[in-house]
Amino acid sequence: MTDLETPVAGPCAPVLRRAAPALLGYAAVRALGLVVLAVWSAARGKSAYTLLTARWDSLWYVRVAELGYGYQVRLPNGDIHSDLAFFPLLPWLERLLHALTPLSYAGAGFVVSLLASLAAAWGIFAVGDLVYGRRVGVCAVLLWAVLPVGIVQSMAYSESLFTALAAWSLYAVLTGRWVTAGALAALAGLTRPVGLAVVVAVWTAGAVSFVRDRSRGARDRSGGARDPGADDACGAHHATHAPRIATPGAPPWRRALGMLLAPLGAAAYVLWVGRHTGRGPLGYLDVQAGWRNGFDGGYAFARFVADKFTSFPSALAGAGLVVGVGLLLWLYVIGVRQRQPLPLLVYTGVVVALALCASSYFGSKPRLLLPAFPVLLPLARALARTRTGRSLLVTAGVAVTSAVYGAFWLNGSGPP
């Protein structure tokens, strides 16, 4: 059975009603995180709202929304931090919402992130439901909500917006909506540099579908036998427990158009930065170099982890990092063994590679991994097999722990 994409018959219940348990559960977890953050911050004499909307990267986004691009800071060591490192879709939305409402730019960013996080949760549910069923979709959303750095989903950052666009683009690929997939991939490419992951997923799925169409045509011309159950997505799912995805059926021109649209967002911004800096296509790489960001295959991160083992207190943190990376890679391997659809595997692989192999901002890596939601599907499948009462108890306990950690984290070092 193929595990790529295409239209699957929709459920009888309305789409929103089907997703309601996942969205309500997600909203409850995020509300708990915000309440705990508010109480913790008040006890320390800080503003939770300020922590969510007016610190770290959110300040850069607000400045771009208000004044446009062109601001940079030269650090004492000579590094230049330029606002060109921040992709434009979130500032554009902040500016639009500010123009339409009484909200400040920071408040607009907060609202955009809240709405985007719900859209992301819905998209994650849609993918999980399509591939493995409704219960797994709900569990995947809850697991994404209770991640230790899940509080970032409620910050005026671009992670929630990007995850929403990525999830729905992947869902569009899996259901054969190629033009939609390409358009959403283009928007994802205007949101974060990791938009490359969505583009590669769309391209890979499209290329494989064209190859399979060609092979199928050759087989039909030679009179080869065809499996009568190949297009029966639900039947194959129940019979083999493989992902519940059917075979592609979109016209070739739609697939080609989707693949053409996918890279336009990222390409347009990178080329604009190159022209703005006078460095051509390398301009954006120069901007990232000013932030000491680059791709070194994971060498700098490996050294960072190794340095943790030079003293006893930090060795515990080093061991935790090793265990965390090992768990992440193990879950990805499990996803491969469970035959996750190719677009999900490609997307997750690129997100994980870009996050782990970046040469700087090691404390940001858990945040950078937030969009890699398909890696949670093996855990979601395991959680979905447990009794409802037990799974709710486990999820509630982890949600409380995540909320406390999020409040502690934002009131401390927080995301750089």
At 286, the amino acid letter reads: D
Can you say whether the dihedral through the CA atoms of 273, 277, 278, 282 is positive or negative? negative
Question: Does residue 374 belong to any structural domain of this protein?
Answer: no
Q: Which two tokens stand for residue 389?
A: 């009462």
Beta bridge partners of 162: none
8 Å CB contact between 411 and 381: no
Question: Does residue 234 belong to any structural domain of this protein?
Answer: yes
Query: What global pTM score does this model have?
Result: 0.90
Question: Does residue 316 belong to any structural domain of this protein?
Answer: no
Residue at token pair 């199928």: 216
CA distances from 196 to 61, 64, 156, 340, 346 (A): 20, 22, 22, 20, 11
- As for how many domains the chain has, the answer is 1
8 Å CB contact between 180 and 257: no
Question: Does residue 55 belong to any structural domain of this protein?
Answer: yes
The mean pLDDT of 130-136, rounded to a whole number, is: 96
Give the residue among 296, 297, 276 at the shortest CA–CA distance from 287: 276
Q: How much is the pLDDT for 374?
A: 98
Question: Does residue 200 belong to any structural domain of this protein?
Answer: yes
Q: Is the pLDDT of residue 371 over 90?
A: yes
- pLDDT band at residue 294, thresholds of 50, 70 and 90? confident
The mean pLDDT of 200-220, rounded to a whole number, is: 85
DSSP structure string for 181-226:
HHHHHHHHHTT-TTHHHHHHHHHHHHHHHHHHHHHHHHHHHTT---
8 Å CB contact between 212 and 2: yes
Question: Does residue 415 belong to any structural domain of this protein?
Answer: no
Can you say whether the dihedral through the CA atoms of 287, 293, 295, 299 is positive or negative? positive
* pLDDT tens digits for range 214-255: 777 666 666 554 443 333 333 333 333 445 454 446 789 999
Which range of residues forms the domain containing residue 289?
Answer: 15-295+389-410
Question: Does residue 310 belong to any structural domain of this protein?
Answer: no
The mean of the pLDDT values for the chain is: 89
253: CB partners within 8 A, 6+ apart: none
Question: Does residue 358 belong to any structural domain of this protein?
Answer: no
Phi–psi pair at 252, nearest 5 degrees: -55, -35
* pLDDT tens digits for range 151-163: 999 999 999 999 9
Q: How much is the pLDDT for 219?
A: 64
Residue with more model confidence, 61 or 303: 61
Q: How much is the pLDDT for 4?
A: 40
